[in-house]
Amino acid sequence: MALEDAKTQVDQAFTRESLRGLSFENAFGGATSFLRRRYTKDLAGVDLAVTGIPFDQAVTHRPGTRFGPRAIREASTLQAFDAPYGWGYDPLALLDVVDYGDMAFDYANTREVPGRIEAHIGAILDAGVAPVTLGGDHSITLPILRAVAARRGPVALIQFDAHSDTWVDDDPERIDHGTFLYKAIREGVVDPAASVAVGIRTDNPDTMGVTILDAPMVHREGVEAVLARVRAVVGDRPVYVTFDIDALDPAFAPGTGTPVWGGLAGWQAAALLRGLAGVDLIGGDVVEVSPPYDTTGATAIAGAHVALELIALYGWTRR
């Protein structure tokens, strides 16, 4: 069946009739929507929408994550043939998933971007649809969390990251990828007592009450011990997952703005995400994929896998 479909399927981003099901069009051809989902702004009957926010003007060091959503979509074409390994079910057969496209914004008017992101994600949520967002730098997560919390109340956050992103920033006009969580906690959109950061390996004197499970702990104590701690912290609260690709060691994801050695291996990230099955996921993002610093495409491939794992995680409790 797959071979026969491969002979006829092309540009499934526009031609597919059903929102469900795998796609077998050639990975190297056609329009590169995420997982060959249909590009649409129509959210009627949709369960989950993948959307891109190609904004990278809040980075500390190397820019380039504006190209992240496009690269992640391209990398995802190789994953469209099969259900994600290790889950035991196919989320694309269960869920109506679309590619909602990228958010439009004026690149030269950076101060209006957070408000536009909040409205963009808010429109998805108001349609009763869960968002999975492709970044973009990590500053985009703050307005996303504002939109989620406005509708669901303060959320539990599971953050995969090399950095805590709780550096002090009391200027409401500043946009900085290293302060998104500081502001989210100060604004009350994230409950730090129910939040955990995994993979941290940079010093920050104030983590705002977030439980830190740093990279050395993951390496030393193992995936199962980390998962037990994560579950104990978040409990049965609605959870948002934000995955900064620099949580991975630069050996696995060199294409990012602020790489730090000693990070997670790809297999650890996969096991941790799959081990979260059963949490009440209400949305997620993968950010800081910067293709210009990775000629192999490995970082975008990792980002595409993370996004698919988030979809599988969302679908797990809705089977």
CATH number at residue 259: 3.40.800.10
Annotated binding site: 138, 161, 163, 165, 244, 246
| Residue 39, SS3 per DSSP | strand
How far are the Cα atoms of 60, 74, 181, 264, 289 from residue 282, in angstroms, in the given order? Answer: 29, 25, 18, 24, 22
Span 220-279, pLDDT tens digits:
999 999 999 999 999 999 999 999 999 999 999 999 999 999 999 999 999 999 999 999
What's the rounded Cα separation, in Å, for the pair 164 and 229?
A: 17
Q: Is the pLDDT of residue 1 over 70?
A: no
Instruction: Band the pLDDT of 162: cuts 50, 70, 90.
Output: very high
The owner of tokens 């949490």 is: 279
Averaged pLDDT, 157-169: 96
* CB-CB contact of 202 with 164 (8 Å): yes
Instruction: Band the pLDDT of 6: cuts 50, 70, 90.
Output: confident
Q: Which residues contact 311 (CB under 8 A, 6 or more apart)?
A: 48, 50, 84, 91, 92, 95, 97, 132
Averaged pLDDT, 82-102: 97
Give the burial string for 56-90 (b: 16+ CB within 10 Å, else e).
Answer: bebbeeeebbbbbbbbbbbbbbebbbebbeebeeb
| Residue 61, SS3 per DSSP | coil
Instruction: Band the pLDDT of 172: cuts 50, 70, 90.
Output: confident
Instruction: Band the pLDDT of 3: cuts 50, 70, 90.
Output: low
* CB-CB contact of 134 with 286 (8 Å): yes
- The whole-number pLDDT of residue 142 equals 98
Contacts of 225-231 spanning 24+ positions with Cβ under 8 A: 226/198, 226/272, 227/272, 227/275, 227/276, 229/196, 230/158, 230/196, 230/198, 230/276, 231/279
Annotated binding site for Mn(2+): 138, 161, 163, 165, 244, 246
How far are the Cα atoms of 43, 68, 213 from residue 210, in angstroms, in the given order? Answer: 34, 28, 10
Q: What is the pTM of this model?
A: 0.97
Q: Is the pLDDT of residue 159 over 80?
A: yes
Q: Which residues on adjacent β-strands are paired with residue 281?
A: 239
- The whole-number pLDDT of residue 230 equals 98
What's the rounded Cα separation, in Å, for the pair 27 and 6?
A: 10
Span 10-48, pLDDT tens digits:
999 999 999 999 999 999 999 999 999 999 999 999 999
- The whole-number pLDDT of residue 196 equals 98
- The whole-number pLDDT of residue 201 equals 98
**Full domain range(s) for residue 254:** 2-316
What is the domain count for the chain? 1
Span 279-314, pLDDT tens digits:
999 999 999 999 999 999 999 999 999 999 999 999
